[in-house]
Amino acid sequence: GPAAAALLPVRAAAAEREKRMSHGKCLTSSPHPPGDEQNSPMRVVELEILTDGYAAETAWSLLQHSTDPPTVIAQVSGGLVDHTHYPYVFRIPADASAVEFTISDSAGDGFGCCGGDGDPSNDGYFVVRLDG
């Protein structure tokens, strides 16, 4: 199905602020929690997903672009529960040139009423934050 993808330069993160979208891309600044990586500088990527009423249709991936080919940080395909909040925190090397978040809906109708079944109670959203 159609996918929304965002390839975002790490240095551009501070220019964006929090956005909620039914599908598309978003990147925001966020304070980073303390890490246990004492000897190597790390950045923090926070991902927040609220699944819609059809979570089984949702898949997503997060890639780091400091290697060739890009490194898969995380990916999910299946197993998500309808109307559920999923917060994730990932640490990436500070030298990562970009992160790429892709989310797809196998039915091709997005995260709810904007292209789905018209019922706002079935809406979902996602937010991606990069430390500021």
The answer to whether 34 and 89 have CB atoms below 8 angstroms apart is: no
Q: Which long-range contacts (CB under 8 A, 24 or more apart) does 34-39 make?
A: 35/91, 37/91
Question: Does the pLDDT at position 93 exceed 90?
Answer: no
In this prediction, what percent of the chain has a pLDDT beyond 70?
A: 61
Q: Which amino acid is at 126?
A: F
Taking the mean position of all CA atoms in its chain, how far away is CA 46? 8
Query: Residue 52 corresponds to which tokens in the numbers above?
Result: 């819609």
- pLDDT per position as a tens digit, 17-74: 233 333 333 333 333 334 444 567 898 999 999 998 889 999 999 998 877 898 899 9
Distance CA 104, CA 20 (A): 16
